[in-house]
Chain A
């Protein structure tokens, strides 16, 4: 079995990379101990500071297609429990779980002495490291803390430096994503002496508005405030931010990846983009601590399959696979290919390609050839669709409320099996044709016209029914950057700009 253990910033050790993010699941020693029993490798304590008062309610979420909490929003602040209670419980947890990582998240007034004081007390309690919460986007920022610090590189660097003056354990800076370029904040933290970064905290958000009483959610007596957004919905943005940090040559300190992680696959992706550990909040709030079981098991099985013995074997392996767009090969070509055996005939690929891509997936029985590019372009009068294509015909249907249309198929030869031809002769309706089902709903791709955009493949509900196949162009690698250089050289009118 693969070794999942982690050493973060030289001294923070944990049996696996799965840490609980600083949030409600790490609110108390009782919870953290249960989490460690369940298998979590580390925990970042719910942010400690002068206790606050929270509102009710505090959370709201986005459901997607019947699935709950695709995105979670909260207007909760830092811990509402006294500093001493938290510190005493950190001490007890560390005593019982000496090999698990316990990191204290901190947020206090932006005064040097206050920071010195809390750092010393926390380290005395036995925490393995400190995470400075420069990320909370609501409530605390209005008091000059949280993201108010994390959005200004100079403040971030200054407070990090204050903490480093006294800290004996590694200092992590938790970054807010509510900035234009997260690398600038990462560099400032590094300059201030940070030993690591945690990214990301939550996004400023308004999740939804109650369309009955018009109040945004979560509702606090008919009103709301902007809150922090997290959960599966934010993962792609988090991955991008984590990549920005890990690819930056001026940062080069370990990153604990956060944002929408719910499965071992998510975790593997963050590690492939260079993270040293991962942190989870929403998924635990949704399903409880036990989700870590499959995270550990799945990651380790995948590593065994791939022959990775330790996390270092693949950490960062995908960083260099992200390029500037200008360096991608313009001569690489793929086209869609449909497996008629697997196709269930929903024709979503057809309509997606027709309405939203390049009109190159057709349905057999249209009885027409695919248009050539020239024909297509000559038909571009912006009113009619390409002339070569059969038109989708809508037959007017008389309704009591006026005339509407009913889809009857395609002009021209018409689709096979469309509604039976009109008849005026009397005959019994039991002799009708059976329901006018098209005999063939399997579409086909016009390979000349397909631009390989992936859209049909993305919409197809059947696994590996559409595959994107490589077409040999016979042309050598050439990127946009290469091409502009080449064209600049050939050009006789203008000298290449430098």
Chain B
């Protein structure tokens, strides 16, 4: 993308410093002390709150006795992506939020950092607790190489299935590789976990798109000569079951004039860009992020860290309605991000590239069906925000084209794949699904939980059907 003013650029050293680990690891002794604080609750609420139900007190007590091998195994048995989860999980609303210590007027046990401690040990010692199961002659395809598919594949491989993961990107890992804020998880971290799944005998076919437009003759929207496409039909023919872990699609459009201007970019592309190109990613001097979800925050904080002097977030409702987690908001505030509340962009101005954003002020009217008060424009409140880069972050679309092509697949009104809650089986019995494409966009750990559940769903279904 071209930008009117001069680009901001930082040095590789600055990049490393700015994007350094936001939660540095515990030292071995600090880990023992923290682990010793855990009460070892009966029927522990932290375990119940973790979507993958890691036995938290169990792995924590093992850290207290420096039994890190046992601790790592406890974690990985429940959650094959235990390492990335320890870095990316929004624990304040998950395990740590449920910790009884919150009622004790004390800080909750730092479960994620302890989990990371055990996972770091596992990495340093190349601890690979699982082995492929005895081959049972059955084949499963996983579409998408994100957390949901990785978890599903790892579980199936241990049960003896021959699993192939099809991923259209050059690297597997899904948003773990391309989407999570760099200061939480690096692509190297994400790929490490991909490797551990590969070691279980799972095959990865990257740069392969299943179904969709490219398979129907037209090439992908981004012309990519190396992208191969495989039809759904051939998949159905070659595999005994199919897991759909395709996540969500592109960022929703703003649908305002000027959206095509240079310097307008969607958040996912921007994040993928800086994570892969690092200092070579080009950013403007005045950046406006539109939206106030967690992804919008990630884009804003990344822009700050890339050296942008002025970063603002533009949101049509108020602080109280913002969908981002409270601590993500705190992070953005701490980074010096400016907030334009109750502001609706209506047009992007510029000759060739973005120059300014035309906005109107909003006020909050009656609650809509989500319970949030519906914003409505204030008459004659037009104003301009000078900027040379606009990052769109209004949530992601569903992979409608792909999903429509799956025969008999039932979806919710908002486009999510409907599944049986216990088995993750869809209305087409051969297809199972999990992760963002089912829950509409939650967390990595939810995708892992789904993948695991689906694997057992597949196992039960295939056994029952011979």
On A, residues with C-beta under 8 Å from B are: 65-66, 344-348, 350-351, 398-401, 406-407, 409, 420, 422-430, 432, 435-438, 441, 461-462
Contact A400–B39 (Cβ < 8 Å): no
Give CA–CA (A59, B91) in the complex, Å: 42
Which chain B positions have C-beta within 8 A of A399?
77
Given A344-B103, A461-B104, A427 and B421 contact (CB-CB distance below 8 Å): yes
Which of A66, A350, A437, A461 is in CB contact (< 8 Å) with B29?
A66
1/0 contact string of B15-48 vs chain A (CB within 8 Å): 0000000000000010011011001111101001
CB distance from A362 to the nearest CB of B (A): 12
B248: CB under 8 A from chain A? no
Contact B419–A426 (Cβ < 8 Å): yes
CB distance from A363 to the nearest CB of B (A): 9
CB distance from A392 to the nearest CB of B (A): 9
Give CA–CA (A271, B49) in the complex, Å: 50
Contact B39–A348 (Cβ < 8 Å): yes
Contact B158–A401 (Cβ < 8 Å): yes
Extra contacts besides A409-B43, A426-B427 (11): CB < 8 Å: A65-B64, A66-B29, A66-B33, A66-B36, A399-B77, A400-B158, A427-B421, A437-B45, A437-B49, A437-B98, A461-B104
1/0 contact string of B71-82 vs chain A (CB within 8 Å): 000000100000
Contact A429–B438 (Cβ < 8 Å): yes
CB distance from A199 to the nearest CB of B (A): 33
Which chain A positions have C-beta within 8 A of B410?
426
Closest residue of chain B to A354 (Cβ to Cβ) is B42
Closest residue of chain B to A426 (Cβ to Cβ) is B418
Which chain B positions have C-beta within 8 A of A345?
41, 45, 100, 103
Contact A429–B40 (Cβ < 8 Å): no
Contact A430–B41 (Cβ < 8 Å): no
Contact A430–B439 (Cβ < 8 Å): yes
B416: CB under 8 A from chain A? yes
Give CA–CA (A350, B42) in the complex, Å: 8
Which of B77, B158, B419 is in CB contact (< 8 Å) with A428?
B419
Which of A66, A407, A423, A435 is in CB contact (< 8 Å) with B420?
A423
Contact A346–B42 (Cβ < 8 Å): yes
Given A65-B36, A66-B36, A351 and B422 contact (CB-CB distance below 8 Å): no
Which chain B positions have C-beta within 8 A of A351?
42
Given A429-B439, A429-B450, A435 and B41 contact (CB-CB distance below 8 Å): no
Which of B29, B133, B158, B419 is in CB contact (< 8 Å) with A429?
B419
List the count of A-B residue pairs having beta carbons below 8 Å apart: 98
Given A400-B130, A400-B133, A422 and B422 contact (CB-CB distance below 8 Å): yes
Task: Write 18 A-B pairs (CB below 8 A) sorted by A numbering.
Answer: A65-B33, A65-B36, A345-B41, A345-B45, A346-B100, A347-B41, A347-B43, A398-B456, A398-B459, A400-B130, A423-B422, A426-B426, A426-B427, A429-B419, A430-B442, A435-B48, A435-B98, A438-B45
Given A428-B419, A429-B439, A344 and B101 contact (CB-CB distance below 8 Å): yes
Q: How large is the interface on B (under 10, 10 to 19, 20 to 34, 35 or more residues)?
A: 35 or more
CB distance from A66 to the nearest CB of B (A): 3
Which chain A positions have C-beta within 8 A of B130?
400-401
Closest residue of chain B to A460 (Cβ to Cβ) is B39
Contact A430–B416 (Cβ < 8 Å): yes
Contact B422–A437 (Cβ < 8 Å): no
Give CA–CA (A406, B452) in the complex, Å: 15
1/0 contact string of B436-466 vs chain A (CB within 8 Å): 0011101000000010000010011000000
Give CA–CA (A263, B101) in the complex, Å: 28
B126: CB under 8 A from chain A? no
Give CA–CA (A428, B40) in the complex, Å: 34
Which of B32, B43, B100 is in CB contact (< 8 Å) with A66?
B32
CB distance from B409 to the nearest CB of A (A): 11
Which of A65, A347, A422, A427 is in CB contact (< 8 Å) with B42?
A347
Which chain B positions have C-beta within 8 A of A348?
39-42
Which chain A positions have C-beta within 8 A of B103?
344-345
- What are the 7 tightest A-B residue pairs by CB atom distance, in nearest-first order? A400-B158, A66-B33, A65-B36, A347-B42, A351-B42, A344-B103, A346-B41
Which chain B positions have C-beta within 8 A of A423?
420-422
Closest residue of chain A to B41 (Cβ to Cβ) is A346
Give CA–CA (A469, B119) in the complex, Å: 46
Give CA–CA (A427, B416) in the complex, Å: 10
Give CA–CA (A462, B412) in the complex, Å: 47
B8: CB under 8 A from chain A? no
B155: CB under 8 A from chain A? yes
Name the interface residues of B56-114: CB closer than 8 Å to any CB of A.
64, 77, 98, 100-101, 103-104
Give CA–CA (A153, B448) in the complex, Å: 71
B159: CB under 8 A from chain A? yes
Give CA–CA (A409, B450) in the complex, Å: 22
Given A400-B155, A437-B98, A428 and B104 contact (CB-CB distance below 8 Å): no
Which chain A positions have C-beta within 8 A of B4?
none
Which of B40, B440, B459 is in CB contact (< 8 Å) with A430?
B440
CB distance from B30 to the nearest CB of A (A): 9
Give CA–CA (A407, B427) in the complex, Å: 30
CB distance from B144 to the nearest CB of A (A): 17
CB distance from B107 to the nearest CB of A (A): 13
Give CA–CA (A429, B454) in the complex, Å: 12
B430: CB under 8 A from chain A? no
Contact A441–B77 (Cβ < 8 Å): no
Closest residue of chain B to A417 (Cβ to Cβ) is B48
Contact A428–B439 (Cβ < 8 Å): yes
Which chain B positions have C-beta within 8 A of A462?
104
Closest residue of chain A to B158 (Cβ to Cβ) is A400
B53: CB under 8 A from chain A? yes
CB distance from A422 to the nearest CB of B (A): 6
CB distance from A435 to the nearest CB of B (A): 5
Give CA–CA (A407, B47) in the complex, Å: 11
Closest residue of chain B to A68 (Cβ to Cβ) is B29
Which chain A positions have C-beta within 8 A of B442?
430
Closest residue of chain A to B434 (Cβ to Cβ) is A429
Which chain A positions have C-beta within 8 A of B43?
347, 407, 409, 438
Give CA–CA (A426, B433) in the complex, Å: 12
Which chain A positions have C-beta within 8 A of B39?
346, 348, 461
Closest residue of chain A to B449 (Cβ to Cβ) is A429
Closest residue of chain A to B440 (Cβ to Cβ) is A430
Give CA–CA (A426, B32) in the complex, Å: 45
Which of B29, B77, B100, B421 is in CB contact (< 8 Å) with A344?
B100
Which chain B positions have C-beta within 8 A of A424?
420, 422
Give CA–CA (A424, B419) in the complex, Å: 9
Name the interface residues of B404-425: CB closer than 8 Å to any CB of A.
410, 412, 416-422
Give CA–CA (A218, B370) in the complex, Å: 66
Contact B53–A406 (Cβ < 8 Å): yes
Give CA–CA (A345, B417) in the complex, Å: 37
Closest residue of chain A to B98 (Cβ to Cβ) is A437
Which chain B positions have C-beta within 8 A of A398?
456, 459-460
Give CA–CA (A449, B349) in the complex, Å: 78
Give CA–CA (A115, B126) in the complex, Å: 64
Contact A435–B49 (Cβ < 8 Å): yes
Contact A436–B42 (Cβ < 8 Å): no
CB distance from A366 to the nearest CB of B (A): 12
Which chain B positions have C-beta within 8 A of A436?
48
Contact A427–B418 (Cβ < 8 Å): yes
Q: Which of A346, A350, A420, A441 has the most CB atoms of chain B within a 10 A radius of its CB? A: A346
Closest residue of chain A to B160 (Cβ to Cβ) is A400
Give CA–CA (A346, B37) in the complex, Å: 13
Closest residue of chain B to A63 (Cβ to Cβ) is B32
Which chain A positions have C-beta within 8 A of B77?
399, 401
Give CA–CA (A426, B417) in the complex, Å: 10
CB distance from B342 to the nearest CB of A (A): 28
Which chain A positions have C-beta within 8 A of B456?
398
CB distance from B431 to the nearest CB of A (A): 12
Give CA–CA (A398, B439) in the complex, Å: 24
Give CA–CA (A63, B299) in the complex, Å: 46
Closest residue of chain A to B66 (Cβ to Cβ) is A211
1/0 contact string of B252-263 vs chain A (CB within 8 Å): 000000000000
Give CA–CA (A398, B133) in the complex, Å: 14
Contact B158–A344 (Cβ < 8 Å): no
